[in-house]
Amino acid sequence: MNVVLRVPDADRAKPDPQSTLRENLRHEASQEPDPVHTGPVKKETQIIAIYGKGGIGKSFTLANLSYMMAQQGKKVLLIGCDPKSDTTSLLFGGKACPTIIETSTRKKLAGEQVEIGDVCFIRDGVFAMELGGPEVGRGCGGRGIIHGFETLEKLGFHDWGFDFVLLDFLGDVVCGGFGLPIARDMCQKVIVVGSNDLQSLYVANNVCSAVEYFRKLGGNVGVAGMVVNKDDGTGEAAAFAESVGIPVLASIPAHEDIRRKSANYEIIGKPGGQWGALFEELARNVAEAPPQRPTPLSQDGLLGLFSGESVGRDVVLTPATMEDMCGKAAVSKPSLEVIYDTV
């Protein structure tokens, strides 16, 4: 006679939530992205990745650029690839756009498939969507980008018939997920958005360095040019573009009317408007500018674009001593290391 002992549910060891979370994160991090799509091209589409420092005005530039392109008769898809999910906010008058990652998670829990209408929305001819990102402290933003693109491929990304696909990427982050379009030749060219300040040009220079690095590994992505935003006329951004060998596609002035309308989620890139000609020129230059191989600057070369007073080139680096670190006279202690004479 076989006797089966059953352990009451209350007495069973419950899994540690922290251990489960760590295992899930390890499993997610170990997964490699899908291979690059190699099927036949359905339509000649320009896929352009736009990079820049956080807060430099990429979303503002892209919302108005994509709107102008659509008014010129182009079929345009704008994809926000920033975990803040703010790329499409100006386009949709401040309204939050459901992200692919949150929608995919919700649908998966409900046992449903993500449909294109769940994540892609239209305004005046511009198609737009947000990839999104994980909650703070609960995952890798770069991995979220990879997951988002995998979902796009399942939705038929390579069969869509767009003239332009504009990708908005955060340039401050240098991990593999945010460098995906450059590393895997997912776009034909890159555009950097910068201003006349050291930090934004530092980010732009990093993007040029990434492009050059992958070109040496056999990649094909190039930098088409730079958009100077909030241009105050001091000229550092234009000097940077000339130094690395890329053109300035447009200079958007630091104008109060632009700042105010942008803060109120107003599109200013409309044909016939005050700033229409500026964005018409930008749209034309973005479409026609060829991808080029940049020559990134060294740190000293980047600092050389600015006056010494602005960046502290006259500061002398004074080495610290052990007395400085301890706040008192340091006592020299003999080493206990044993050294053997070799025969």
For position 37, what pLDDT does the model report? 42
Kindly tell me if the per-residue pLDDT of 186 is higher than 90. no
Q: Of 74, 75, 84, 270, which residue is the catalytic one?
A: 84
For position 36, what pLDDT does the model report? 41
Q: Which residue has the higher pLDDT, 96 or 225?
A: 225
Is residue 171 in some structural domain? yes
Is residue 249 within 8 Å of residue 292, measured between CB atoms? no
Is residue 49 in some structural domain? yes
Residue 84 known to be catalytic:
yes
Provide the residue range defining the domain that includes 209: 43-289
Q: Of 75, 107, 163, 172, which residue is the catalytic one?
A: 172
**Euclidean distance between CA atoms 101 and 148, whole angstroms:** 6
Q: How many residues does the chain have?
A: 343
pTM summary value: 0.78
Residue 172 known to be catalytic:
yes
**Phi, psi at 206, each rounded to 5°:** -60, -40
Mean pLDDT of 218-231: 95
- Assign residue 232 the CATH number of its domain: 3.40.50.300
Scored b (16 or more CB within 10 A) or e, 246-268 reads: bbbbbbbeeeeebeebbeeeebb
Is residue 23 in some structural domain? no
Mean pLDDT of 100-105: 86
**Euclidean distance between CA atoms 331 and 230, whole angstroms:** 55
Kindly tell me if the per-residue pLDDT of 12 is higher than 80. no
Residue 43 known to be catalytic:
no
Q: Of 53, 189, 230, 261, which residue is the catalytic one?
A: 53
Residue 300 known to be catalytic:
no
Start-to-end Cα distance in the chain: 75
The domain total for the chain is 1
Is residue 187 in some structural domain? yes
